[in-house]
């Protein structure tokens, strides 16, 4: 999605007001962002969170 809009990782991080690592790690599948950054990223692309991120059931903190 980021490449489609021609944003660098730094560009998107600045728009979301997070560190670049917050963009890098989800792209590499290292972790899922918290709700606020995930919402902000989706908002920038005019999409729902579910359209940007795929959450696996085993990623849930609730049992």
The answer to the question of residue 56 being in a domain is no
Tally the domains of the chain. Answer: 1
The answer to the question of residue 60 being in a domain is no
The answer to the question of residue 2 being in a domain is no
Rounded-to-integer distance, Cα 41 and Cα 35, Å: 10
55: which 2 tokens? Answer: 């959450």
Q: Is the pLDDT of residue 47 over 90?
A: yes
The answer to the question of residue 25 being in a domain is yes
The per-residue pLDDT for 60 is 47
Whole-prediction pTM: 0.76
CATH number for the domain harbouring residue 15: 1.10.260.40
Per-residue pLDDT tens digits for 8-38: 999 999 999 999 988 998 888 787 788 899 9
Least confident of 3-7, 26-30, 41-45: 26-30
Domain containing 43 equals 9-51
């Amino acid at each position: 999605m980021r490449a489609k809009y021609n944003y660098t990782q730094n560009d998107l991080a600045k728009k979301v007001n997070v560190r670049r690592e917050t963009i890098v790690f989800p792209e590499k599948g290292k972790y899922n962002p918290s709700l606020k950054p995930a919402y902000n990223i989706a908002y920038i692309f005019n999409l729902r969170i579910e359209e940007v991120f795929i959450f696996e059931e085993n990623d849930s903190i609730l049992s």
